[in-house]
Each structure stands twice: as structure tokens, then as C-alpha cells.
Amino acid sequence: MSEDKLRDERPENGTAPEGTTYSRRSFLQGIGVAAGVVAAGVIPAVLTAPPASAEEATPTAGAAASATDGEEDFIASIIADDKPLNYPGRPVYYAKDFPAGKQKWAMVIDTKACVGCRKCVYACVKENNIGRNSGFTFIQVLEMEPGGVDLESAVLDYKEAGRPDKWYMPVQCMQCANPPCVNGCPVKATWKEPDGIVVIDYDKCIGCRNCMITCPYGARHFNWVHPQVPADERNPLVPVEEKAWTPEKCTFCIQRTRNGKTTACVEACPVGARKFGDLNDENSEVAILLKTRHAWRLKEEDSTEPMIWYVG
């Protein structure tokens, strides 16, 4: 692929103010809907659509999984593998070490509750020192037509949130229990922590972008520029300069969750559409939701075992 093609994937300008939205085409390429191969590190692939409504969900392979039928086996299958993948035996330097317990972090997003306000997006940008000039956000919110999921017609850059004739689906890194991005890293600069969080060592990363190629969700984003974060908005718990010329992604706010807090996106949601917690705690909100609501995940047929579920 030519250098001109590589340059085409870089941000078109040097600024990406908070709240910037991006074209539907660029987003769909990022999550793997458009055809072709992008040299900057994304292989497009079609995401699996959930059923038209939560009530119609059935626990079939590659489609929606129901936690109400055989919920004990369902939960057990998710948390069975406690072995970290490519774990280097040390924590990321900017977060506490894995605690003594056996947490298995997960998130559940209620699409019926989400109003598409994007407050989760903005909170994530601030919390995780995402470069204001980097041209991406970890979280994107898709506006959908009622009656089903059609990613081809989904709108990313909608101007008015909370429309009663639409529904909204946030997407981000799925924190897979079997992450292909980790398997694809040639230098083990990315790994799955014992509590399931997939992290990146920015100093060790060589910028080959193979993790981006292997991710079926297009959830990793490359810093083509040195991230610019205003000094008075920097989070001292998260690196900034080290992320230049490396891919980054959601880390389930490891700097918060390892300190007993929830993620920034969950905290910022004004309608409680996001829930975060420990699947090994049967009394956690996420465990209860997966036992009592019909849930589905994106691209289950790839056996990535994403740790983000949707209910609706």
C-alpha cells in the first residue's frame, strides 16, 4: 500500500475539539463495516446484528445470548478462564497492581435507556487524556432506526440527541476475554490483566498496528500526532506523551477501577444506561442484569468473548 494511502488515514487537521463528531463513513470503516483493507491497521468485518428487540432475543450461537435460560452455566462460561493472556507478571505502571481478589470486570449497556447525549464520550476524553488533536474518541455513539440494527444506515454525527423516533448504541473496546489484539502483538506490548482488562505498554509498543488489524471491532486508534492535552485538563494518573505514535483504546478506566471507583463513562451517564461491575460478585448490578435481562454481544461468532453486553 502506498505512503499516500497511509497519509489518507491520518487526521485531516491538527485540532479535534471536545464534542467533535466524525463522518459515518470513517466510523463504519473503523468498526469494520466498509469493504476493503486499510493499511493504517483496520481490517473491515461485518458486526453481528442483535435481534430487533430484547424480547425476541434467543441464546443462539453467533446471535443474542439469553442469561435467563441456564444462567448459571452462562455466567460460569464467561468467568471460567482466569488465566491472563500474555500477562508479563507486572501491572501497568500507572495503575495499582491486580488486587488480591478475583474480580472479573464487565459492563452492561441498556440501549432502551441511552439517550445518545454523548456525555460518556466527553467524560472518557477528559479522564483518559485523549489528545484533543488526535481525531478519535474511545467511545462512539450510533443513532439507529427503530426495529433492528442496521450499521450501514447508522448515524454517528447526528446533531440532536434523545429523539423518541431513534435509539442509540454506544460502542468501544469490548475488553474481550479472548482478545485477538493481544494474540496479534509481536512484542507483547499489550496483554490481558488477571481481572480481564486489556492494557497497553506504550513504551514497549513499536507502532506496528497489528493489534488494530486483528481487532474485529476497530476499537484501537493510532496516534499519528503527539497528543495535545491542556495542562489544566490533564489527568496525572494517565500517561500522555508516551502515547505518541502508538495505538490506544479504552482500559475500563483501570486507574479508577483499581481504586474502587467505577469508570468515567458510567459515572457521567445521566440516565444510568451504563453499569459496570464484577461478574464474580453475584450481587453486582452487571451479574444481576445478565441473569434477569436478555443480553447480546457484538461478533460472538468470533469467540472473542466480549465483556460488554447490551440489553434493551
pLDDT for 123-167, tens place per residue? 999 999 999 999 999 999 999 999 887 777 889 999 999 999 999
Other C-beta atoms lying within 10 Å of the C-beta of residue 73: 9
Q: Is the pLDDT of residue 85 over 70?
A: yes
Q: What does the mean pLDDT of the chain come to?
A: 79
Closest CA to 129 of 218, 243, 43, 26: 243
Give bridge partners of residue 144 from the DSSP assignment: 167
Do residues 204 and 211 touch, judged by C-beta distance below 8 A?
no
Q: What is the DSSP secondary structure assignment for residue 155, as one 8-state letter?
A: B
pLDDT, tens only, 247-301? 999 999 999 998 899 999 999 999 999 999 999 999 999 999 999 999 999 888 8
pLDDT, tens only, 189-210? 999 998 999 999 999 999 999 9
56 phi/psi in degrees, rounded to 5: -90, 0
What local confidence, expressed as pLDDT, does residue 86 receive?
85
Distance CA 42, CA 273 (A): 29
pLDDT band at 41 (very low <50, low <70, confident <90, very high): very low
Query: What is residue 43's three-state secondary structure?
Result: coil
Mean pLDDT, residues 6-12: 39
| Full residue range of the structural domain in which residue 259 is found | 3-311
Amino acid at 219: A
Distance CA 102, CA 194 (A): 8
Domain of residue 20, CATH code: 3.30.70.20
- Count of domains for the chain: 1
Do residues 76 and 278 touch, judged by C-beta distance below 8 A?
no
